[in-house]
Amino acid sequence: MRRTLPGQRRATIAAGTASAVAAATLVGVTLGLAPTASAGEFLVNGGFESGSLGPWSCSGNSGSVVTSPVHGGSRALAAAATAGDTAQCGQTVTVAPNTTYTLSAYVNGSYVYLGVDGGGPSTWTPGTGGSYQKLSLSFTTGATQTSATVYTHGWYGQGTYYADDISLDGPGAPSPTPTPTPTGTASPTASPTATPTGTPTGTPTGTPTGTPTGTPTGTPTSPPAGSHALVGYLHASFANGAGYTRMADVPNSWDFINLSFGEPTSVTSGDIRFNRCPATECPTVESDDEFKAAIAAKRAQGKKVLISIGGQNGQVQLTSTAARDTFVSSVSAIIDKWGLDGLDIDFEGHSLSLNTGDTDFRNPTSPVIVNLISAVKTLKAKYGPGFVLTMAPETFFVQLGYQYYGSGPWGGQDPRAGAYLPVIHALRDDLTLLHVQDYNSGSIMGLDNQYHSMGGADFHVAMTDMLLKGFPVAGNANNVFPALPASKVAIGMPATTNAGNGYVAPAEVNKALDCLTKLANCGTYVPRSGAQPNLRGLMTWSINWDRFGGQEFSKNFNGYFGR
């Protein structure tokens, strides 16, 4: 969840917050190349001195040839990354099996990537300081591999990057006059190898320590069939362009109110603190007693009030059992102090990642995953069946797992890909609601094996259908992430255009709901899971932004469900 306006937010996943890496599509161009016996250059027009892009192809017509700035010669590639497109440019060449090649390029810009598609390695730079910087990597082809697509791309919303003198060197160089033949097919990008800070260490343990001290209270959190819920995040510890909303002033439309945010004292401490917005930042902030009384009043009305942990700035890595136990005690202290119903896990950025070799979501071994699962189970045992647990992962950590899981067979994918899946699976019986953030996302492949992008009903339908149908993780039919009950699934959307990228108007929201709940009014994507009338509802960032926007989001929800 973003504290700032979209135009002011920090750089996304490459810099430390989350979004989809393997999302940009690329129209490949296959070159029929006859290899010779000597080593040499495999790429055509790697310096773009021809004055045109061919045989390179760029997603979304994002690429062009420019005369400045250049690294060598008189021309270079310029590609403009937008909020919805990483501006990937690629070229496919014929290669020999079991052969090692070296790929290099000179790049200029922020968050520029160089890699080999189809699960191959990649490298990147967070920024070049206005001059060209060389990126280089090596890879070895498979036993039956005869082609490879190399690419460069930027990152969402980072603007134009430049690339020049791109080279693929290896034995058996092609003739200098190949004839390009468009393949007309799309292929996913490989994930960058940006390694999360604070690599997980320590020995995982799956057994909670200590004796639960709380007395189980309340009733089981599974909702009755047919009940619908509206979930919103309340800016409780900060102010931004949406302004501060007092707890007592939260409209009655909201069934789940997630206090944003509890954050750690350091990334790996596990010590979570909830600091209310100071009066210097939020002049209308209420006193602690007033805040607590308003929470109690909301709960008396049947509302659920949770502490949301993480968000854009709150990186939480439970790398040790000590951090796990501190997490349990500090979160318990917050819940007890304010009289809350439970916990929302909004881990973003580098909080969750999978260690190399951790490939089975049913049996995770990465400490940050295992310790989080253990901590939440301890909290559930302490507070009993009435404990409310929700999660708000980004698409990168869930639906992207259909294509990529962890670092992959090459060890070159982003280890965060699909990293929420083992957490969701281990806690599915304890889970009250999963509402994936269908915003600030790149294009993601759906169960139709087509890429879906933000901006319309189809994206929400395709992403939600993956949760309701289940999917093979990393395409492995023997490793299927099971479907979740519709009553535990809500759709995450931004409340206004200011709240995040991917806003859709009420008409598109209703189209998505019609399609998912009734199989009516569907667009190009029809759910594989069938009609799901018990779909729980909608989540939005945020209550404050909805209020700022005239309550368009909540009023539309109430109107659709007749509340």
Residue 66 CA to residue 70 CA, distance in Å, equals 8
468: enclosing H helix or E strand: helix 457-469
**Dihedral (C-alpha) 117, 164, 16, 458: value to the nearest 10 degrees?**
-50
Three-state SS string over 242-259 comes to: CCCCCHHHCCCCCCEEEE
| pLDDT score for 225 | 37
- Supply φ then ψ for residue 429, to 5 degrees: -75, -25
- Answer yes or no: are the C-beta atoms of 1 and 541 closer than 8 Å: yes
> Where is 375: in which H helix or E strand?
helix 367-383
Instruction: Check whether the bond before 55 is cis (ω within 30° of 0).
Output: yes
DSSP state at residue 247: G
Class level of CATH domain 229-560: alpha beta
Q: How far apart are CA 316 and CA 323, in angstroms?
A: 10
41, 49, 286, 348: which one is catalytic? 348
What pTM does this model have?
Answer: 0.65
**68 is written with which tokens?**
């400045």
Tell me how far apart the alpha carbons of residues 464 and 530 are, in angstroms, rounded to a whole number: 12
Which tokens in the block code for residue 331?
């979160």
Task: Identify whether 290 is a catalytic site residue.
Answer: no
Q: Which residues share a beta bridge with 6? A: none
Burial of residue 179 (number of CB atoms within 10 Å: 0-12, 13-18, 19+): exposed
Alpha-carbon span 515 to 494, nearest angstrom: 19
Contact between 212 and 380 under an 8 Å Cβ cutoff? The reply is no
Query: Is residue 478 exposed (0-12), middle (13-18) or buried (19+ Cβ within 10 Å)?
Result: exposed
Other beta carbons within 10 angstroms of residue 259's beta carbon come to: 24
The residue among 291, 277, 239, 234 whose CA lies nearest residue 259 is 234
Listed in order, strand segments (DSSP E) in 369-428 are 388-391
State how far the Cα of 440 lies from the Cα of 30, in Å rounded to an integer.
32
Question: pLDDT at position 193, please?
Answer: 32
Cβ atoms within 10 Å, residue 127:
14
Q: Which CATH superfamily is domain 23-188 in?
A: Galactose-binding domain-like (2.60.120.260)
Closest CA to 402 of 345, 443, 440: 443
What's the chain's Rg over C-alpha atoms? 24
Cβ–Cβ < 8 Å for 419, 410? no
Residue type, 211: T
**Residue position matching structure tokens 């999917």:** 471
Q: Which one-letter amino acid corresponds to residue 170?
A: G
C-alpha separations of 445 from 24, 455, 525 in Å: 10, 15, 12
Q: Please, what is the Cα angle at 12 between 8 and 17, to 5 degrees? A: 110
Q: Position of tokens 């490879």?
A: 148
Domain boundaries, the chain: 23-188, 229-560
Name every residue whose Cβ is closer than 8 Å to that of residue 386 and which is 6 or more positions away in sequence. 216, 217, 218, 219, 220, 221, 341
10-residue mean pLDDT profile of the chain (563 residues): values are 44 32 32 34 91 92 95 95 86 90 94 80 86 92 87 88 94 42 30 32 32 36 61 94 96 98 97 97 97 97 97 92 98 98 96 95 97 98 96 98 90 92 98 97 95 95 99 96 98 96 96 98 97 98 96 97 89
Q: Is 222 left (phi over 0), alpha (psi -120 to 50) or beta?
A: beta
Is 534 exposed, middle or buried, given 0-12, 13-18 or 19+ CB atoms closer than 10 A? middle
Distance separating alpha carbons of residues 563 and 554, to the nearest angstrom: 10
Residue 163 near residue 125, CB atoms below 8 Å: no
The 3-state DSSP class for residue 29 equals strand
Please report, for residues 254, 367, 396, 550, the alpha-carbon distance to residue 3 in angstroms, rounded to integers and kept in the order given. 20, 28, 19, 20
H helices of 242-339, in order, are: 288-300, 321-338
Cα-based angle 285, 289, 293 (whole degrees, multiple of 5):
100
Residue 319 CA from chain centroid, whole number: 21
Rounded CA-CA distance 126/78 in Å is 17
Q: Which of 490, 474, 378, 372 has the alpha carbon at shortest distance from 422? A: 372
Q: Is 514 helix (H, G, I), strand (E, B) or coil?
A: helix
Label the pairing between strands 489-494 and 537-541.
Answer: parallel
